[in-house]
C-alpha cells in the first residue's frame, strides 16, 4: 500500500491570507497523522507564499514513529530573507525525504519535471549533499520522461511522477494515454532501481485508477484536493477516505 503524505501548504495559504496563526499548520498535521497519514509534505518557497521556514522547523518533530517528513523545493534557489535555502533547511530539520522540484516564483504551482538530459550534471552534487544530510532524494519528473534511468545514475533514490496531466485528462474522461505514460514511466524507474512516488492534482476520484496502474507505487503526496475536500467533510474523515482508496 502506498504511503499517503499530506501536503499542508494550503493550510499555510489560508493562514497567510489573513495574518496571525490560524489555521495552524501544526494542528492540521497532527490531525492528519492521528487519522492515519504516514507522511507530511511541505514545499517552502523563497517568496514564502505559504509554508515558511518556521513552519518547517515546527513540523519536523511531529514526524516520528514511522511518519515521514518530506520537504519539496528547488535546491538551486538561493537564500532570500528568512528563507535559508533548501539544503540548509534539510540539514537543520533532517527530513526522511527531500523532493527536488524545478519551480520558480512565476509558477503558481509546480507544473513540470526536470529535464534529466539537461539537468543531470548540476543535480548530481546537490543530490549527494542532500543524501549526506540524511535525506532520501526524489526527483520530480514528467510522465514519459525519456531519460528516467539517469535519475538513478546521478544518485537519486526515487522519482515523483508529475500527475497533473493525468488528473486533467481524467476530469475530461479521456485519461487512458496519460495513465499509460505514467505507468510506463513507473515501470522504467522501477527497472532502474528507483522507488516511485506520485503527486499533483490527485484526488478521490482519480486516485484509485492511478494506483491500480502502478501497484508498486511507494508514496502519493496530496494537498490541494485533500484540503479542498476537507472543507466539506472534515480533515480527519477526508484523510481516512484517501487511506481506504490506497488500501484497495
pLDDT, one tens digit per residue, over 170-201 is 999 999 999 999 999 999 999 999 999 999 99
84 CB burial (10 A radius; 0-12, 13-18, 19+): middle
Q: Is the pLDDT score of 168 beyond 90?
A: yes
Q: Quote the pLDDT of residue 103.
A: 81
Known catalytic residue at 43: yes
Q: List the grid coordinates of 142.
A: 514528467
Q: Quote the pLDDT of residue 107.
A: 59
Q: What is the mean pLDDT of residues 68-93?
A: 96
Choosing from 50, 68, 72, 160, which is the catalytic residue? 72
If one counts the domains in the chain, the total is: 1
Q: Quote the pLDDT of residue 124.
A: 97
Q: Quote the pLDDT of residue 105.
A: 64
For residue 20, how far is the Cα from the chain centroid? 26
Q: Quote the pLDDT of residue 22.
A: 96
Strand partners for 13? none
Residue 241: give the domain boundaries.
3-247
pLDDT tens track for 89-147: 999 999 999 999 998 665 566 667 789 988 999 999 999 999 999 999 999 999 999 89
Known catalytic residue at 22: no
**Mode of pairing for the β-strands spanning 136-142 and 97-100:** parallel
Q: Quote the pLDDT of residue 113.
A: 79
Choosing from 68, 160, 200, 219, which is the catalytic residue? 200
CB 88, CB 79: distance < 8 Å: yes
Known catalytic residue at 200: yes
Which CATH number do you get for residue 207?
3.20.20.70
Q: State percent of the chain over pLDDT 90.
A: 93
Q: Quote the pLDDT of residue 29.
A: 98
The total of other beta-carbon atoms located within 10 Å of residue 231's CB is 11
Global pTM value: 0.95
Three-state DSSP state, 106: coil
Amino acid at each position: 500500500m502506498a504511503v499517503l503524505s499530506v501536503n499542508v501548504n494550503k493550510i499555510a495559504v489560508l493562514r497567510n491570507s489573513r495574518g496571525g496563526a490560524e489555521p495552524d499548520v501544526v494542528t492540521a498535521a497532527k490531525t492528519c497523522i492521528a487519522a492515519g497519514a504516514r507522511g507530511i509534505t511541505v514545499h517552502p518557497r523563497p517568496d514564502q507564499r505559504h509554508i515558511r521556514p518556521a513552519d518547517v522547523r515546527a513540523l519536523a518533530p511531529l514526524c516520528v514513529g514511522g511518519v515521514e517528513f518530506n520537504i519539496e523545493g528547488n535546491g538551486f534557489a538561493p537564500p532570500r530573507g528568512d528563507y535559508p535555502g533548501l539544503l540548509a533547511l534539510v540539514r537543520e530539520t533532517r527530513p526522511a525525504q527531500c523532493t527536488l522540484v524545478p519551480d520558480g516564483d512565476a509558477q503558481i504551482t509546480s507544473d513540470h519535471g526536470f529535464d534529466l538530459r539537461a539537468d543531470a550534471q548540476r543535480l548530481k552534487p546537490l543530490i549527494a549533499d542532500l543524501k549526506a544530510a540524511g535525506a532520501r532524494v526524489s526527483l520530480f519528473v514528467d510522465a514519459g520522461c525519456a531519460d528516467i534511468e539517469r535519475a538513478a545514475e546521478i544518485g537519486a533514490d526515487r522519482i515523483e511522477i508529475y500527475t497533473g496531466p493525468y488528473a486533467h485528462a481524467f476530469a475530461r474522461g479521456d485519461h487512458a494515454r496519460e495513465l499509460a505514460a505514467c505507468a510506463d514511466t513507473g515501470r522504467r524507474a522501477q527497472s532502474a532501481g528507483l522507488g516511485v512516488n506520485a503527486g499533483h492534482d490527485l484526488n478521490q476520484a482519480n486516485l484509485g485508477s492511478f494506483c491500480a496502474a502502478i501497484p508498486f507505487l511507494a508514496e502519493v503526496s496530496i494537498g490541494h484536493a485533500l484540503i479542498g475536500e476537507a472543507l466539506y467533510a472534515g480533515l480527519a474523515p477526508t484523510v481516512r477516505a484517501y487511506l481506504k482508496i490506497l488500501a484497495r
